[in-house]
Chains A and B, each alone.
Chain A
Amino acid sequence: MVSLVIVGTLSTQAYMALLRMACNSKAIPVFCEVPTDPGLYPFLDYPMYSKAYREGTTVPDYTLVAIFEDGTEKTLTPEDFGLSAYWFNTSLLPAFQAKQASEVSAYLADYEAAGNSPFVAFRFENTLLTITKAGVVTGAPEVFTSPLPLGDEE
């Protein structure tokens, strides 16, 4: 019984973590039906940070700024929305960048429910950082400002 547990645990982990790569490289096509992560969670593949980048790769630096009725401004943070940095970066910022009206509206409701003062517009800044052998080069920021609430057409 215990031996079955040992074999089952290790073979499942090895299957998910190592054989998928063989599958992806087409070296062992018989294994190409491996479920995609996290299909067998907590047994996972571990390809984190595995994509390679070359000289000239760019990294975006996003900034979301609230503009209040009196013209004052404030850079918004995950804490303002009661969100983790992960959700702020991977869900909220893309929603504001793409001006997704319903999601932005929901985030603003959370923002105001947390006792924060409502703002009438936001400014989204995207500065590209280019990595070169000589160092990191900061590009000119792409900026757009949008009044709130966002219209449906946005």
Chain B
Amino acid sequence: MGIYNSLKTGSVGRVAKAWDDYWFYPAPLFNLAISRIVAVGFQLYYILSKGYSHKLVTQADIPGSVFNPLPVFQALNGLFPWEMPPNFFLVGVFWLAIVSGVTSLLGAKTRLSLFLFALGNVYMQAYLYSFGSFHHGEAIMLIVLFLFALAPAGGVLSWDSWRHRRGGTRVTERGTAQRGIAGRVVESLRPVSVYARWPLLVTQWLFSIVYLSAAVNKVNADGPGLLSAEWMNGYTLQHYLLRDGLQWGSELGVWLGQFHVPAIISSWFAVLFEATFWLVLPFPKLIWLFIPLGYALHIGIWMAQRAPFFHYLALYVVFIPWTAVVKVVATRLGWPIYGNQLRYPDVR
């Protein structure tokens, strides 16, 4: 008991408390639910619009493609009696992902649905990337879907929460219920959970690490010292603009690749953005600067170089304090949201 007390009150206890205060501070489920809807909705749209059902069954037939299964694919595929999955199974996984994606979106059996959706997407993507080439755009999304599956992402704005309210404590009993869609949205703002914050924070950390990695890779390249500004010499970006513009058919990229000074400025902008993005962690208000800049950067890269990082744009949803945004909007629309409706701790 003495050891327990000393741990609890000593430096270990202080670290544990700081850890809990950071990751498990009570937060509105609404923010997590909005993130679930946007992330799942985007990923569903992505696998449908990119024709994954067709890609999965034709990938092996592309001349020159060699099947070299990724470890994660081997781990998942090891549960089945085949090395190369048959087409019926691949199509089955695709439809499993679609169905579980729809139920995740609606929030029906949310945890199970999200887990199956994440699993199906990792299986499909790892299979497609087992043929010799891979891209980075989808990776964070696949990790985040698993994180959401471990969190109460269907706590509000879901079929699960609707059924729970019907069968259990009704919000309306408190005499403050709103009517219609506006009322449901306002009601959804109130529930909080100590598990509603960590998946959003982990995703923010993932973004910070990824951008920092991209920046450090650039300034770590080819220089004589630890850091080098060689990458920002303008010629580098011109090279990539021309190369990608020609390869992917972007006339804008080929045109931009002609200009040296704008390339220098754009290079510095890109590296500074990536190197300092992590500042949104200690200073959350910086999202109002970094998120628009991130949109501009990734859309610009897409237009000029056809490098698709749309998953990032969708996942920026985790940075937005949706509850606060809705409160502001609702106030302006005259919805009565203050008073008893939103009595929870001042959520950070």
Query: How many inter-chain contacts with C-beta < 8 Å in the A-B complex?
Result: 155
Known A6-B198, A53-B239: A41·B129 in contact at CB below 8 Å: yes
Chain B interface SS verdict (over half) = helix
Alpha-carbon gap, A45 to B243, bound state (A): 22
Residues of B close to A83: CB separation below 8 A = 62
Q: What B residues does A90 contact at CB under 8 A?
A: 133
Complex contact A87–B242 (CB within 8 A) = no
Instruction: Please tell me if B85 contacts chain A, counting CB pairs below 8 Å.
Output: no
Tell me the bound Cα distance from A153 to B209 in angstroms. 50
* A46 contacts B239, C-beta separation under 8 Å: no
**B249 contacts A85, C-beta separation under 8 Å:** yes
Is A150 part of the contact surface with B, judged by Cβ < 8 Å? no
On whether the beta carbons of B236 and A42 are closer than 8 Å, the reply is: no
Once bound together, how far apart are the Cα atoms of A103 and B238, in whole Å? 32
Interface band, chain B: 35 or more
The residues of B that contact A85 with a CB separation of less than 8 Å are 247-249, 306
Q: Which chain B residue lies CB-closest to A13?
A: B209
Q: In the assembled complex, which residues on chain A have CB atoms less than 8 Å from the CB atom of B217?
A: 21, 45-48, 50
What's the Cα separation between A53 and B222 when bound, in Å? 9
A107 touches B63 (CB 8 A): yes
Partner of A46, one of B213, B226, B238, B260: B213
Chain B 205-250 interface residues, beta-carbon cutoff 8 Å to A: 205-206, 209-214, 216-218, 220-222, 226, 228, 230-231, 233, 235-236, 238-240, 242-243, 246-249
Asked if A25 meets B23 with Cβ closer than 8 Å, knowing A42-B125, A129-B242, the reply is no
Taking CB atoms, residues of chain B closer than 8 Å to A3 are 19, 23
B231 touches A37 (CB 8 A): no
Q: Which of B240-286 contact A (CB under 8 A)?
A: 240, 242-243, 246-249, 257-258, 260
Rounded to whole angstroms, the CA-CA distance of A48 and B307 in the bound complex is: 10
Please tell me which one of the listed residues B62, B71, B211 contacts residue A40 in the complex, with CB atoms under 8 A apart. B71
- The verdict on A52 contacting B133 (CB below 8 Å), with A18-B209, A21-B216 known, is no
Q: Is the CB of A41 within 8 A of B221?
A: no
Q: In whole angstroms, how far apart are the Cα atoms of A37 and B235 in the complex?
A: 27
Residues of chain A with a CB closer than 8 A to B230's CB: 52, 54
Most buried by B among A3, A39, A41: A41
The answer to whether A55 has its CB under 8 Å from any CB of chain B is yes
Give the distance to chain B from A20, nearest Cβ to Cβ, in Å: 9
Can you name 19 A-B pairs with beta carbons within 8 Å?
A: A17-B209, A41-B72, A41-B129, A42-B72, A45-B217, A46-B214, A48-B217, A49-B218, A50-B217, A52-B221, A59-B243, A62-B246, A91-B62, A107-B63, A131-B239, A131-B242, A133-B260, A135-B258, A136-B258
Besides the known contacts A18-B209, A43-B139, A133-B260, 19 further A-B residue pairs in the complex with CB atoms under 8 A apart: A2-B198, A5-B150, A10-B202, A13-B143, A17-B210, A17-B213, A38-B70, A43-B143, A46-B136, A46-B217, A48-B214, A48-B307, A50-B218, A51-B221, A51-B222, A59-B243, A85-B248, A85-B249, A85-B306
Hey, which bits of chain A sit against chain B, CB under 8 A?
2-3, 5-6, 9-10, 13-14, 17-18, 21, 25, 37-55, 57, 59, 61-62, 83, 85-87, 89-92, 95, 102-103, 106-107, 110, 129, 131, 133, 135-136
